[in-house]
Amino acid sequence: MGLTFFKNTVLLVVLTVLSCGNSLQNKEERKKNREQREKITVKTILDSLSEPQIIVGAEQYHLYADLLKGKNVGVVANQTSEVTIKKANDPAIEEVKKFKMQMHLVDYLILNKISVKKVFAPEHGFRGTADAGEHVKDGIDKETGVPLISLYGSNKKPSPEQLKGIDVMVFDIQDVGARFYTYISTLHYVMEACAELGIPVIVLDRPNPNGHYIDGPILEKEHQSFVGMHPVPIVHGMTIGEYAAMINGEGWIDNLGSDWSKKRTYCDLTIIKMKNYTHQTPYALPIKPSPNLPNAQSINLYPSLCFFEGTFINAGRGTDMQFQVFGAPSLPASNYTFSYTPQSNEGAKNPKFKGQLCHGKDLRNEPRLSKIKLEWLIDAYNANGKKKDFFNSFFVKLAGTDKLQKQIEQGLSAEEIRDSWKEGLSDFQKIRAKYLLYP
């Protein structure tokens, strides 16, 4: 019994020593791993700090303040027209202390004693909650008491009566860089109306989250509409300020029915440039630009998936995955294994296939695109059993040409279709180069 006790005691000591050794080893490894993680975290923070932050036009008040002081000001704005207060010597900083350090441009201008007489709101309204295509009514902004005028529906262009008494117009809306996104059409009509009355326009520039590439067919004049007003590709690769300069410089504001080659009418245009922005700078929008573009992935996929709006395919409206999925009940579940059921929600009161199970694709983890992805559209057309009913009349307006639909119906591949865009894109790049404000 004594020998057994001795053996057990020795064994316990050995195990304890080994355990302590392992514990010490594990402790050293944990310490090493923690230090490594801290190094990585510090490096990430330093890398982030070393990259200059983009300063949008609206946040450079000192550059446009003198253009507004003592004037009756109109503002074209929506929920994206935010200003972040960054400097202690900001003219409104004492007043802003009562509020959040991020505030709407209209509130910011009023705090700076600027006389904002009217606010003009684009599609989706001033607060950005209306459905795509929904009529937005005039009214009064509850926060400021400033009159609101809708620039969507039957009144896309400000009338002389609506502009009466306005000395200068400020345009500050976040765009997403796609021709069929209607904020640039609103820009056109505002510039045109102000040019006719001699009212200067100030564009406060903001980044283009799809500014890193150019792609798509050039819009043809016979297919002009509010979702495509100018001879540019679907993805134009320009900021809202650069685009305004091109509208002005190319003489496109003469009027919608004029010959694009004639250059007669010009807008008194001032662009407040951004700081630290390039066309290759990744930029995630701090505020969703419209109800159905909720995040960076939807915005990047939008130029490719918006084509489905001109078909009977649902592009995620009626879900929280807008422009990140697509599907329809008639797509074969064997090939389209992802499924979802659209329901009424913000920005989509009556989505396609409401309450019906749709088979489709989930693109939420798709890598960032640098070109329009036609393969999804072509595959859905070929997989669907109702080719005759696949396209609707809206498709040609979105494409800006009737050639794309014909090419898909004829069985051309994505690369063959893209090859047909090359000449038009090359010509556009030469025009675009004249108006670029950033590298």
Mean pLDDT of 315-328: 98
Mean pLDDT score of the chain: 86
Distance CA 238, CA 257 (A): 24
Confidence at 143, pLDDT banded by 50, 70, 90: confident
Which of helix, strand or coil describes residue 215? strand
Mean pLDDT of 124-138: 59
Confidence at 242, pLDDT banded by 50, 70, 90: very high
Distance CA 252, CA 195 (A): 12
Write out the E strands in 1-71: none
Residue 412: φ, ψ to 5°: -70, 150
Read off the pLDDT of residues 372-427 as tens digits, 9 standing for 90 and up. Answer: 999 999 999 999 878 999 999 999 999 999 999 999 999 999 999 999 999 999 99
Residue 175 has pLDDT above 60, yes or no: yes
Residue 113 has pLDDT above 70, yes or no: yes
Residues 6+ away with beta carbon under 8 Å from 154? 135
Specify whether the CB–CB gap between 400 and 217 falls below 8 A. yes
Instruction: Write down the pLDDT at residue 11.
Output: 46
Percent residues over pLDDT 70 in the chain: 80
| Closest alpha carbon to 279 in 238, 249, 318, 247 | 238
Least confident piece of the model among 57-61, 129-133, 295-299, 316-320: 129-133
Instruction: Write down the pLDDT at residue 265.
Output: 78
Instruction: Write down the pLDDT at residue 259.
Output: 54
Who wins on pLDDT, 113 or 133?
113
Instruction: Name the strand (E) or helix (H) holding 162.
Output: helix 160-163
Instruction: Name the strand (E) or helix (H) holding 160.
Output: helix 160-163
**DSSP string computed for 115-137:** EEEEEEE-TTTTTT-SPTT----
Percent residues over pLDDT 90 in the chain: 72
Would you list the domain boundaries of the chain? 57-272, 296-401
CATH 2.30.30.280 fits 57-272, yes or no: no
Who wins on pLDDT, 265 or 307?
307
Model-level pTM? Answer: 0.84
Instruction: Write down the pLDDT at residue 23.
Output: 46
Residue 25 has pLDDT above 70, yes or no: no
Which of helix, strand or coil describes residue 228? strand
Residues 6+ away with beta carbon under 8 Å from 341? 355, 356, 357, 358
Mean pLDDT of 272-276: 98
Distance CA 370, CA 235 (A): 10
Least confident piece of the model among 22-36, 76-90, 230-244, 254-268: 22-36
Mean pLDDT of 142-162: 91
Mean pLDDT of 117-123: 92
Instruction: Write down the pLDDT at residue 198.
Output: 96
Residue 50: φ, ψ to 5°: -75, -20
Residue keyed to tokens 């009023």: 110
Mean pLDDT of 189-199: 96
Q: List for the chain the helix, strand, coil content (%; round to 5).
A: 35, 15, 50
Instruction: Write down the pLDDT at residue 123.
Output: 79
Residue 44 has pLDDT above 70, yes or no: no
Who wins on pLDDT, 381 or 256?
381
Residue 49 has pLDDT above 50, yes or no: no
Mean pLDDT of 153-169: 95
Mean pLDDT of 10-39: 47
Instruction: Write down the pLDDT at residue 138.
Output: 76
Read off the pLDDT of residues 209-241 as tens digits, 9 standing for 90 and up. Answer: 999 999 999 999 999 999 999 999 999 999 999
Mean pLDDT of 123-145: 68
